[in-house]
Amino acid sequence: MSAPISLAPGGSSSRISARAGLEAATERTRQPIVTGTSVLGIKYKDGVMLAADTLCSYGSMAKYKDARRLTKINDATLLGAGGEYSDFQAITDLLKRNALEDKCTADSLYEEDVNEECAREVWNYLRAVMYNRRNKMNPLWNDLVVAGFSQPAGVGDASADEDKPFLGLVDKIGTTYEDSVIATGFGSYLAIPILREKHREDLEEGEARALLEDCMRVLFYRDCRALNRIQIAKVTKADGVLISEPYEIETSWDSASFVEPKGQLEGDGGW
């Protein structure tokens, strides 16, 4: 038998309302909704280069085909993200607010005198942010790739750290690592073996770009959440951060494994 509902203060209806309000206040993102897939990164002779496609999927639907997932944080730091796109936007806004606050509270009125955060500092800060959200059971559903240089110009031992390229990853629970090649999403399975096999410390910029394009082509073939419309971005001491406009890479579906009928069945494999 159900309990009677009282309209008096403190009655059942008040308790139900309070409980509903508490549940609404503690809602958490249980799964990402609009997501981007792999981000690839590689160190080369002059700096660091990242690649990502421009597709964001709404579940299994390829919904947004101009979602740009590589962004400039400052003149020496580049950020790429896979996972929930709205969380990536929130992280970007957070970093931009921090940069603006640093400028507004700096001792100098001149922008050239304000020390910007280097890539390693941004990477460590994002580690704390992601781990904090994870401990609140409300994670930001992203894998973040941070590229740039280990130390800003004019700080510390220039010969040891200032010109050293930096490439690091932060995942949604705050786990971090650095490497010469990094990939998120399906790229960690399909692209990392190719990158590790062909990576060299003295890679030229053209070689690094061609290698990333080859990996993005493989991902387009094998990852149903990938697209052949990609962006390439680089960070160098000479040019700072440069992000290309989206462009389409050439693909070919003439491979025998794509053409031959599957399961010894005639036809195109459809129903």
8 Å CB contact between 175 and 183? no
From residue 171, how far is each of 83, 164, 208 by CA, in Å?
10, 23, 24
Instruction: Using DSSP bridges, classify how beta strands 229-236 and 47-53 pair: parallel, antiparallel or unpaired.
Output: antiparallel
β-strand partners of 52:
39, 231
By DSSP bridging, strand 240-243 and strand 39-44 are unpaired
b vs e for 189-224, b when ≥16 Cβ sit within 10 Å of the residue's Cβ?
A: ebbbebbeebbeeebeeebbbebbbebbbbbbbebe
φ, ψ dihedrals at 241, nearest 5°: -95, 125
Distance from C-alpha of 148 to C-alpha of 120, rounded to nearest angstrom: 8
Strands, E, within 110-171: which ranges?
Answer: 142-149, 165-170
Distance, in Å, from the CA atom of 67 to the CA atom of 124, rounded to the nearest integer, reads: 26
Alpha carbons 7 and 253: distance in angstroms, whole number: 69
The enclosing H or E element of 85 equals helix 85-104
Closest by CA position to 84, among listed 32, 125, 19? 32
Buried b (16+ CB within 10 A) or exposed e, 118-129: bbbbbbbbbbeb
Catalytic residues, by residue number, are 29
